[in-house]
Structure 1
Amino acid sequence: MKPFVREVLTVGITTGVVLLTQDRPFPWSLWTAVGGSLLLPLRLRWPWLASLLCVPAVAGGLGWAPALVAQFRLGRKEKSIPVQVFWVSLLTVAAIAPVLLTETIPLGSLLLATAFAFGLAGAPTALGALVTTRKDLTQSLYETRRARAAELEAQETSARAAERARIAREIHDAVGHHATLIAVESAALAATAADPAVRETALRLRALAKESLSEMRAALGLLNSSDTSYPSLAELIDRARVAGVSVTLSESGEAALSPAVSRALFRVVQEALTNVTKHAPGAAVTVTVDRSSPVRVSVVNGPGSLPSLGDGGGAGLHGLSERVRLAGGTLTTSYRADGGFSVAAVLPPGKSKVDGQDSTFGGGARSSANA
Structure 2
Amino acid sequence: MSGLAESRPRRVLLDVLAVLLPAVAVLLAQNGSTWALVTGLIASAGLVLRHWSPRVALVLCLPGLAGGLGWAAAFVALFRLGRARAHTWWLVGWVSLAAASALAPVLIWQSLPPSDVALTVTVVLIAAGSPTVIGTLIATRAQLTTSMRRLQAATDAELSAKADTARAEERARIAREIHDAVGHHVTLIAVEAAALAATSAEPDVRESAIRVRGLAKEALGEMRSTLGLAAEERDSTSARAIPELVARAQRSGVRVTLSDECSQAVQLSSGVSRAVYRVVQEALTNVSKHAPGAEVLVELTGDDDLLRVVVRNGAPMLSARAVSVGNAPDVGRGGSGLAGLSERVRMLGGTLDAAPSDEGFELRAELPLTRS
- TM-score, normalised on structure 1? 0.54
Cα gap change, 1:52/1:189 in structure 2, threshold over 3 Å: closer, same or farther?
farther
Matches within 5 A, 1:21-32: 21-24=29-32, 27-32=34-39
Tell me, in whole angstroms, the C-alpha distance in 2 between the residues paired with 1:118 and 1:258: 78
Please state if 1:121 is matched with 2:121: no
Please state if 1:356 is matched with 2:364: no
Which one-letter code corresponds to 1:63 in the other structure? G
Structure 1 residue 88: deviation in Å?
0.3
Please state if 1:4 is matched with 2:12: yes
CA contact (8 A) 2:30 2:36 kept: no
Which of 17, 28, 41 pairs up with 1:34?
41
- Partner residue in 2 for 1:300: none
Please state if 1:178 is matched with 2:96: no
Tell me, in whole angstroms, the C-alpha distance in 2 between the residues paired with 1:50 and 1:196: 105
Structure 1 residue 185: deviation in Å?
5.3
Instruction: Give the greater-gyration-radius structure (CA).
Output: 2
Please state if 1:13 is matched with 2:21: yes
Cα gap change, 1:94/1:258 in structure 2, threshold over 3 Å: closer, same or farther?
farther
Which of 114, 117, 131 pairs up with 1:110?
117
Which one-letter code corresponds to 1:20 in the other structure? L
Which one-letter code corresponds to 1:12 in the other structure? L
Tell me, in whole angstroms, the C-alpha distance in 2 between the residues paired with 1:196 and 1:107: 126
Which of 148, 155, 172 pairs up with 2:155?
148
Structure 1 residue 107: deviation in Å?
2.6
Which one-letter code corresponds to 1:2 in the other structure? R
Matches within 5 A, 1:326-337: none
Tell me, in whole angstroms, the C-alpha distance in 2 between the residues paired with 1:354 and 1:196: 40
Structure 1 residue 206: deviation in Å?
4.0
Structure 1 residue 28: deviation in Å?
1.8
CA contact (8 A) 1:36 1:57 kept: yes
Residue by residue, what CA displacement relative to the aligned partner does 1:344-366 show, whole Å, maximum 9, x if unpaired? xxxxxxx955962599xx99xxx
Q: Percent identity?
A: 49
Structure 1 residue 164: deviation in Å?
3.4
Structure 1 residue 131: deviation in Å?
0.8
Please state if 1:59 is matched with 2:70: no
- Partner residue in 2 for 1:241: none
- Partner residue in 2 for 1:70: 77
Matches within 5 A, 1:201-350: 204-221=211-228
Which one-letter code corresponds to 1:32 in the other structure? T
Tell me, in whole angstroms, the C-alpha distance in 1 between the residues paired with 2:108 and 2:48: 32
Which one-letter code corresponds to 2:10 in the other structure? K
| Structure 2: runs of 5 or more not aligned | 1-8, 235-268, 277-343, 349-372
Which one-letter code corresponds to 1:18 in the other structure? V
Tell me, in whole angstroms, the C-alpha distance in 2 between the residues paired with 1:207 and 1:352: 24
Tell me, in whole angstroms, the C-alpha distance in 2 between the residues paired with 1:203 and 1:146: 59
Structure 1 residue 103: deviation in Å?
2.6
Which of 140, 143, 147 pairs up with 1:136?
143
Secondary structure of the 2:111 match is coil
Moved more, 124-133 or 91-100: 91-100
Which one-letter code corresponds to 1:13 in the other structure? L
Bigger helix fraction: 2
Tell me, in whole angstroms, the C-alpha distance in 2 between the residues paired with 1:45 and 1:112: 35
Tell me, in whole angstroms, the C-alpha distance in 2 between the residues paired with 1:201 and 1:47: 92
CA contact (8 A) 1:190 1:199 kept: yes
CA contact (8 A) 2:19 2:47 kept: yes
| Structure 1: runs of 5 or more not aligned | 223-256, 260-350, 364-371
Tell me, in whole angstroms, the C-alpha distance in 2 between the residues paired with 1:353 and 1:6: 60
Residue by residue, what CA displacement relative to the aligned partner does 1:314-345 show, whole Å, maximum 9, x if unpaired? xxxxxxxxxxxxxxxxxxxxxxxxxxxxxxxx
Tell me, in whole angstroms, the C-alpha distance in 2 between the residues paired with 1:199 and 1:49: 100
Tell me, in whole angstroms, the C-alpha distance in 2 between the residues paired with 1:107 and 1:36: 31
Matches within 5 A, 1:42-53: 42-53=49-60
Structure 1 residue 196: deviation in Å?
8.1
Secondary structure of the 1:44 match is coil
- Higher RCO (CA-CA < 8 Å; seq separation 6+): 1
Structure 1 residue 58: deviation in Å?
0.8
Residue by residue, what CA displacement relative to the aligned partner does 1:190-244 show, whole Å, maximum 9, x if unpaired? 788899877765554444323212221233349xxxxxxxxxxxxxxxxxxxxxx
Number of aligned residue pairs: 235
- TM-score, normalised on structure 2? 0.54
